[in-house]
Amino acid sequence: MATSALPVASHALEPRADLTAWLAVIAGALGALLATLDVSIVNSALPTIQGEIGATGTEGTWIATSFLVAEIIIIPLSAWLERLLGLRTLLFVAVTTFTGFSILCGLAGDLTTMIIGRTGQGITAGALIPTAMTIVATRLPRRQQPVGMALFGITVILGPVLGPVLGGWLTENLSWHYAFFINVPVCIVLLLLLWLGLPHQRPDWSYLREGDWFGISGMILGLGGLTVVLEEGHREYWFESSLIIWLTVITVIGFAFLLFGQIYARRPVLKLRLILTRQFGSIVVMALVIGMALYGTIYVIPQFLALIAHYNALQTGYVILLMGLPALLLMPIVPFLVTRVDIRLAVGAGLALMALSCRVTTDLTVESAGGDFTVGQLLRGVGMIFTMMFLNQGAIASVSKEDAGDASAIFNAARNLGGSFALAALATVQDERLWHHSRRMEESLSANSPAVQDYLTRLEMHLGSAEAAFRTLAGTIQQQAFVMTYNDIFFVMTVIITLSIPLVLFLRPLPKGMALSMH
């Protein structure tokens, strides 16, 4: 009995975090919000930006893709960079250069400048996400970490859902340039908080001299190639494109380099063996599923509302924002629930709610609009806050303090990769099911059918020509096929999330007896 009480006693004896520690935690949360916000803030403004810088629709996709590719590369490298430079130095460099690249994007007058700016934003923003979790794990005692994780978790949820609304509002009322310039004052505040909240650490250049260069180059080639393949594969018709074939080869070579570094390097760039543990490995898989659910719905719902309900970007943004409301309402009580509710029960319930949120959106019709997504978005928001909060805490509780940086990098990279997998898979499913439903409906409409002929005759009388009548019928078929396709997509997401629920059985309860305090 005495032995089992030791962990609780040791937590009770830990000193409470001081003001500087909380300033560091707030800085980490603000940095993570900035990084996740900038993923989606340009989505609403993208058509306007493309028009002003003279980019085609295909070229314009690289404005978003370049950011995602750069971010997914740097996230897992952030732990190594932190050990090399020290946490405060790394974040000072990241925030300062992020500010510069944001200004460059706001001033861009051509596609090349914009892509350079967005790539730079992605590289520097990628360091802000996992380091936020690292700050919580290293600056707060165990009993206060749930509060810090709540602050971090809400930013990860709010960033992607707030981005389209903020970007749309700025574009409609000011200019798309302000979607980038708005970062400048936020970064100034962030630098001040970092200076006050984090102690200076001397760089450890031994990590540079003895660096796992096979692992580092493998991370860049493997993750960079994989992300581009997932983002652009659908547009390039997958392996019909020589670009996708070569990128796939580069991806395989990159992951081979990474594996070589894991086996032979004295100090691997990232401790991927953490994934082999039951607790952390299951958390990583669920992080992939969360990324798929979060970014998948943010991808699908705006498409439906634009094509079927004819919503503009700002109207769509308000519907997406509904998912963030539960995070704001539940944040004050979630840290207390983390210490009192079994992680298996909480994450299982959260995943079930996320699955249910997709299931209730599988009966869409051509009459559906934003209101038909309200229940699903709110359920998804509640499910997301429970799974994210408990898994964030579970990720850092399942490893030692020394491995917190690696665990954070792997966890956040998995969530972002889940988003990339979702976008690639959903785009492919969308095309396949759209073709299937269109052909099935066309096959069911016989040209000799009296009902079809009568319908076309009435259309021709109303529209004035047979050609216009056929175009209207084709448009109706296409619209109905779109609706059925989106119902299929939500059903697929329901199944995927449901299949991940048994993974909660591999989780271990979080440490008990952590009296929470902000003081």
For the chain (519 residues), the mean pLDDT of every run of 10, in chain order, is: 41 68 87 85 77 72 78 84 88 93 90 89 87 81 78 79 83 84 92 88 82 85 83 76 89 90 82 84 88 82 84 82 84 78 89 93 88 91 87 78 79 83 78 81 66 64 64 74 89 91 85 44
- The CA-to-CA distance between both ends of the chain, in Å, stands at 31
Residues 297-340: pLDDT tens digits?
Answer: 887 888 888 888 888 777 888 888 888 888 788 877 877 787 78
Where would I find the H helices in 398-512? 404-444, 450-463, 466-500
Alpha carbons 369 and 221: distance in angstroms, whole number? 42
Residue 4 CA: distances (Å) to CA of 7, 142, 148, 149, 209: 7, 17, 26, 25, 43
Which two structure tokens, joined as six digits, stand for 166? 């903020």
| Dihedral angle sign, alpha carbons of residues 69, 323, 415, 126 | positive
Residue 161 CA: distances (Å) to CA of 47, 105, 418, 421: 19, 21, 17, 19
Residue 352 is predicted with a pLDDT of 95
Consecutive H or E run containing 394? helix 374-397
Alpha carbons 352 and 383: distance in angstroms, whole number? 7
Alpha carbons 74 and 67: distance in angstroms, whole number? 11
Show Cβ contacts of residue 287 under 8 Å, excluding neighbours closer than 6 positions. 391, 395, 411, 412, 414, 415, 418
Query: What would the DSSP string read from start to end of 87-123?
Result: HHHHHHHHHHHHHHHHHHHHH--SHHHHHHHHHHHHH
Please write down the HEC assignment for all residues of 152-167: HHHHHHHHHHHHHHHH
For the segment(s) 15-200+269-434+484-506, the CATH number from 3.55.40.20, 3.90.850.10, 3.40.640.10, 1.20.1250.20 is 1.20.1250.20
489 CB-contact burial (10 Å; exposed 0-12 / middle 13-18 / buried 19+): buried
Residue 234 CA: distances (Å) to CA of 220, 226, 227, 489: 22, 13, 12, 16
